[in-house]
Amino acid sequence: MKVVLALDLGTTGNRVIAFSKSGEVIAKSYYEFPQIYPRPGWVEHDPFDILNTTIEALKDVLSSVGADNVVSIGITNQRETVVLWDKRTGKPVYNAIVWQCRRTREICDRLSSHSTLIKTKTGLPLDPYFSATKIQWIIENVSGIKSRIDKGDILFGTVDSWILWNLTGGRVHATEPSNASRTLCYNIHTLTFDDELLDLFGIPRGLLPEVRESGEHFGNTDKTITGREIPVTAILGDQQAALFAQGGWERGVVKNTYGTGLFLMTSTGTKIAESGNLINTIAWQVGGEANYAVEGSVFIGGSCIQWLREGLQIIKSSADSEKLAESLESNEGVYFVPALVGLGAPYWDPSARGMIIGITRGTRREHFARAALEAIAYQTRDVIEEMEGTAGIKFKNLRVDGGAAENDFLMQFQADILNTTIERPHLIETTAFGAAGLSGIISGFWDRNKFSEARKIERIFTPNWKDDKRSLHYSRWKNAVSRSMNWAGE
Ligand code: ADP
């Protein structure tokens, strides 16, 4: 049976999945790799761990489906993480600095007078989260690297480029706009790395990968690795891949990934929308045309359920939260603002802290579970309101994925609080499916319609609430949020 492979290169591990034409998972393999925390707030990966686990998983899947049956490969990856390596030896000059790493806060402070320029050109706020200051940190801190850069020996890549370069036997050094647009030095208007920004961050142009389309023939894998040469025909950042898998090229469709955090994204077509407290990014570039998106990230999503489980120890498994929440008729006035690490989109208040309000003598763990799940849904509405208000999105429906999207109570509550239908797909591996989808469309395995048909909906949740109930609940949530803000910092 013919298949398309997705290499899903995540933050905690790498997964390879083979998909059939009907969208079924034919084979898969996953390997975790170590997280390296050299100091508080610093996060690194060993680039060889990323590479070796990818190759292991790839070999597992190839031996199960047969290399001859693989039509093409799509790559999707953790975004913003940077690797610099020596192109003669293939050896990294330093560990990969991971998107979560906060070590470049001081560099960002130093450059803060340029933040408007940066936002205008890249669509992003100046923050350690993105790649540029991490590249700058490596250039400033690895001894002897400057002369090697001058000699032209050093290459930079996000994880997609690092893996592509290795899988093609060092022949292809490339990336594409959904990854490049997260580097903080890529101009999303001109679709090129921007000289003024490169100067600002002190990044020599010679380090940079070529920016190709998200869907095109990047090159073939080396047959010493995969047994035969296999074309790599798509690369997409993880959130963009999930959007693609959810049919997110349709306007008004918002996808939300309910994982540790919440990642909402919606396409704005060929137009760059006003983004306000959200981020502008590139969803993908195919057929000469860049497709833009607006993205909102909430720091604490499913992880507030994890906190009930591991921190408070009032539930045994995350799934228990569903039964507890459903055992109450309503939240009985209890609201939980999970600002456990401050608030992200759309509030951006690092000094906000978590708060539970409305507790009475009758409050039980059921109320905590319910308030936490409701908070995930309210935070989702906060981002969608910003998308509608500032970015002018005509919101149609929400398509969901991620671990906590399995929670039926949460999904029903989400439909009620948004007053919209929610589609939950059969397949939870949407990130991998998106990369396979674009790869398969480019390699002729699917046409776009056939790929859409392969996306199967498991369940649709429809709203049941009256408008006044909805506004009452939401206004009380907003009130709670305002009370949680501006707290820490003394
Ligand atoms: P990530 O990819 O960010 O690691 P996942 O998509 O695996 O996250 O989702 C895991 C998160 O979702 C955890 O924080 C977990 O507590 C939460 N979660 C998982 N299952 C459920 C559930 N049934 N109800 C509520 N939360 C859940």
292-345 confidence digits (pLDDT tens): 999 999 989 999 999 999 999 999 999 999 999 999 999 999 999 999 888 888
**Residue to substitute in 15, 258, 315 for testing ligand 1 pocket (most ligand atoms within 8 angstroms of CB):** 258
Ligand 1 center to 397 CA (angstroms): 22
Please give the pLDDT value at position 111.
94
Ligand 1 neighbour 303 (Cβ under 6 A): yes
Please give the pLDDT value at position 452.
86
Give the span between the Cα atoms of 283 and 15, in whole angstroms. 22
Ligand 1 neighbour 430 (Cβ under 6 A): no
The residue-averaged pLDDT of 278-304 equals 94
Range of the domain at 139: 3-238
Tokens of 174: 């490339």
Ligand 1 center to 298 CA (angstroms): 14
In which residue are the tokens 């959904």 written?
178
Residue 227 lies inside a defined structural domain of this protein:
yes
pLDDT digit string (tens) for 147-165? 999 999 999 999 999 999 9
Residue 192 lies inside a defined structural domain of this protein:
yes
Mean pLDDT for the chain? 95
CA atoms within 13 Å, Cβ hemisphere of 420: 20
Please, which pLDDT band fits residue 190 given cuts at 50, 70 and 90?
A: very high
pLDDT digit string (tens) for 117-127? 999 999 999 98
Sheet with 3-9: strands ordered across:
25-32, 13-19, 3-9, 70-77, 231-237, 215-220
Please give the pLDDT value at position 344.
87
Residue 92 lies inside a defined structural domain of this protein:
yes
Residue 458 lies inside a defined structural domain of this protein:
no
Residue 377 lies inside a defined structural domain of this protein:
no
CA atoms within 13 Å, Cβ hemisphere of 7: 33
- Res 490 pLDDT > 70: no
Please give the pLDDT value at position 110.
93
Q: What CATH number did the domain enclosing 42 receive?
A: 3.30.420.40
pLDDT digit string (tens) for 53-67? 999 999 999 999 999
Ligand 1 center to 263 CA (angstroms): 13
Please give the pLDDT value at position 427.
87
Residue 321 lies inside a defined structural domain of this protein:
no
**Residue to substitute in 316, 318, 379, 410 for testing ligand 1 pocket (most ligand atoms within 8 angstroms of CB):** 318
Residue 151 lies inside a defined structural domain of this protein:
yes
Ligand 1 neighbour 305 (Cβ under 6 A): yes
Please, which pLDDT band fits residue 12 given cuts at 50, 70 and 90?
A: confident
Residue 413 lies inside a defined structural domain of this protein:
no
Q: How many domains does the chain have?
A: 1
